[in-house]
């Protein structure tokens, strides 16, 4: 799997600094690498729906979960009826009766370890943010993903390390450590942005596989 920096750069033109949409080029590369037409893909943190939209274009079935109703509405407008988005909390993924999936491709909401009161897993709407709790909850979500993957299925997580001044939260590596309890890490790809936002230290695609 490889990504051309020029493709990632083109999709960042005009993006806000806090904008963490997947570039569709990245979704296309991951879906092409790890699935075949007709396979089923999950995105438990669907955001604005890049995974679902690209899966529709590539003849894969797809299911997304997104917490924020306004984003669910945006996704529903973007879909042509083949993919599905569920308004819900990924922390309850195992209770939704979904699966099995061939691929889970996702990017969770980010958190810095440094004194961030807002909770990413409530859409930053509550001030009970706590970095160790956030990591534990993400690990539980990915444990549920592992249960729902078919044997040899893949989980691909896009996650960045977060810069606050001269301090870096190794978020991507902390997430990877939590997932490694449930799935095997196969490879990581460094995403080389021509014009990264200032808070982004390193941006990675972490590729895990079920036994």
Ligand X SMILES: C[S@@+](CC[C@H](N)C(=O)[O-])C[C@H]1O[C@@H](n2cnc3c(N)ncnc32)[C@H](O)[C@@H]1O
Binding-site ranges for ligand X (CB under 6 A): 20-22, 45, 47-48, 50, 65-68, 71, 89-91, 107-109, 120-121, 123
Closest to ligand X by CB, 65 or 162: 65
Residue nearest to ligand X (CB): 47
Q: In the complex, what is the shortest distance from the CB of residue 196 to ligand X, in angstroms, rounded to a whole number?
A: 15
In whole angstroms, give the CA distance from residue 104 to residue 112.
24
Closest to ligand X by CB, 99 or 109: 109
Closest to ligand X by CB, 70 or 166: 70
Q: In the complex, what is the shortest distance from the CB of residue 101 to ligand X, in angstroms, rounded to a whole number?
A: 16
Q: Three-state SS string across the chain, please?
A: CCCCHHHHHHHHCCCCCCCCCCCHHHHHHHHHHHCCCCCEEEECCCCCCHHHHHHHHCCCEEEEEECCHHHHHHHHHHCCCCCEEEECCHHHHHHCCCCCEEEEEECCCCCCCCCCCCCHHHCCCCCCCCHHHHHHHHHHHHHHHHHHEEEEEEEEEEEEEEEECCEEECHHHHHHHHHCCCCEEEEEEECCCCCCCCCEEEEEEEEEECC
Q: In the complex, what is the shortest distance from the CB of residue 65 to ligand X, in angstroms, rounded to a whole number?
A: 5
Q: In the complex, what is the shortest distance from the CB of residue 151 to ligand X, in angstroms, rounded to a whole number?
A: 26
Closest to ligand X by CB, 111 or 183: 111
Q: In the complex, what is the shortest distance from the CB of residue 211 to ligand X, in angstroms, rounded to a whole number?
A: 26
Closest to ligand X by CB, 23 or 153: 23
């Amino acid at each position: 799997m490889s990504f051309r920096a020029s493709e990632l750069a083109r999709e960042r033109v005009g993006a806000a600094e806090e904008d963490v949409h997947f570039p569709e080029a990245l979704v296309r590369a991951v879906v092409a690498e790890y699935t075949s037409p007709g396979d089923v893909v999950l995105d438990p943190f669907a955001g604005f729906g890049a995974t679902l939209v690209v899966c529709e274009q590539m003849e894969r079935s797809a299911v997304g979960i997104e917490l924020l109703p306004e984003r669910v509405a945006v996704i529903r407008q973007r879909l042509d009826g083949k993919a599905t988005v569920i308004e819900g909390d990924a922390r309850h993924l195992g209770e939704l009766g979904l699966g099995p999936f061939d691929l889970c491709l996702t990017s969770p909401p980010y958190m810095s370890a440094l004194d961030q009161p807002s909770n990413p897993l409530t859409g930053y709407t509550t001030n009970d943010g706590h970095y160790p709790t956030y990591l534990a909850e993400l690990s539980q979500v990915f444990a549920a993903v592992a249960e729902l993957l078919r044997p040899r299925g893949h989980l691909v997580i896009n996650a960045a390390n977060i810069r606050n001044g001269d301090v870096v939260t190794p978020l991507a590596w902390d997430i990877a450590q939590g997932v490694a309890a449930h799935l095997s890490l196969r490879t990581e790809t460094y995403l080389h942005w021509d014009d990264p936002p200032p808070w982004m230290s390193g941006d990675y695609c972490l590729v895990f596989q079920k036994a």
